Amino acid sequence: MVFKFVEGAFVTALREGYWVLLDEVNLAPPEILGRLTGVLEGVRGSLCLAERGDVMGIPRHLNFRLFACMNPATDAGKRDLPFSFHSRFTEYAVDDELCDDDLEIFVRRFLGGRESDSKTVLIRSHSIA
């Protein structure tokens, strides 16, 4: 039997500059969050695939974006994020239902320089979900 390392969707997104959404991120094992911390490190964030024997990290594409969602740590079975991971995000609390107008304000504030098509897709995606 021969094993071969195959890069997954996250690595592809990191290389190609796609957006990634981590839902229920506070349910992820601390080891995984620790590995992702390097990706969020300043302007030169990268991911080192030690499993593949790499010594150099895969650099984060300029357009790569990482979004994370979570329910409060006070909910059953949830926990707080490690500070080293949590501190690299801008936190925005939302109610169970967020109207499109509020979402549009949020998107314009945090994604102001992005193409308007990207903003529209993000707002529509939220409405469908």
What is the pTM assigned to this prediction?
A: 0.74
Nearest CA among 79, 111, 107, 80 for reference residue 94: 107
pLDDT of amino acid 91: 82
> What does the alpha-carbon distance between residue 24 and residue 30 come to, in Å, rounded to a whole number?
13
83 vs 78, more confident: 83
Place 69 in a pLDDT band, splitting at 50, 70 and 90: confident
User: Tell me: the pLDDT tens digits for 8-67?
Assistant: 999 999 999 998 989 999 999 989 998 899 999 988 899 988 878 877 899 999 999 898
Domains annotated on the chain, with CATH: 1-91 (3.40.50.300), 93-129 (no CATH)
Burial class of residue 74, CB neighbours in 10 A (0-12, 13-18, 19+): exposed
